[in-house]
Structure formats: C-alpha cells, structure tokens
Amino acid sequence: GAGVSQSPSNKVTEKGKDVELRCDPISGHTALYWYRQSLGQGLEFLIYFQGNSAPDKSGLPSDRFSAERTGGSVSTLTIQRTQQEDSAVYLCASSLARQGPNTGELFFGEGSRLTVL
C-alpha cells in the first residue's frame, strides 16, 4: 500500500505478557518514528530511527520497551512484561529526511490499540 501500515490494529493482552507491534513505513522514507497516545493525552514521543539506527531513544518509558528497524524499512516495537499503564494507542510515522524548510512532514499509520488487562 501507499501509506504507513501498522499491525495489529488491536491487541488485548494480560498483564505480564510480551507484545510486538509492527510498522511498515512508506517506501523510501528514511526516518521512522514511534509515538504513544494514552487516553485523553497528547502524542508522546518514544523513539525515532534514521535508517536502521536510533539516534534518539529518550522517550522510551522504561527498559521494558525496545524497538528495532531492519533493512531501513519495517520496525518492531516490543513491550516486555506489559503493565496496565502501557495501555494506549501506539502510532508509527515515517518521513523523508529533512533537507530544509517545508520538508520532512510525518505520515502516520492508523495506530495499534493496546489494552493490558
């Protein structure tokens, strides 16, 4: 498809289980971002990738969260030993590298809604 694709769209899991969320960015986009939106909150930055490397992991809430990107394309966000406070919509976005003004807008997927019981 032409847009950012995320899977699963919905995930219900039990506290303590591990989950993996997948993002397939727009072809050719070198930058990939993960954000989280908790109920009633704004978009919280988690991590971004430039190619396969992650220059900024500062938003990851704890060491239970990790992300990787392979082949400069698909990314996986993994949450280990999930907690109820991890319940949120996890949004992935991709963009071309910024090369000056008016470039680098983010294109978002529809998100993966995670519910931890």
Contact partners, residue 102, CB within 8 Å, separation at least 6: none
- Among 62, 111, 115, 58, CA closest to 84: 115
Query: Is the Cβ of residue 19 or residue 31 nearer to other proteins in the bound state?
Result: 31
Minimum distance from residue 106 beta carbon to other proteins (Å) = 6
Minimum distance from residue 49 beta carbon to other proteins (Å) = 10
Q: List the structure tokens of 81.
A: 């030993």
Minimum distance from residue 105 beta carbon to other proteins (Å) = 5
Binding footprint of other proteins on the chain (CB under 8 A):
4, 31, 33, 35, 41-45, 48, 50, 55-56, 91, 93, 97-98, 100-102, 104-111
Query: Is the Cβ of residue 10 or residue 15 nearer to other proteins in the bound state?
Result: 10
Return d(Cα 108, Cα 46) in angstroms, integer: 14
Query: Is the Cβ of residue 50 or residue 80 nearer to other proteins in the bound state?
Result: 50
Q: Is 67 left (phi over 0), alpha (psi -120 to 50) or beta?
A: beta
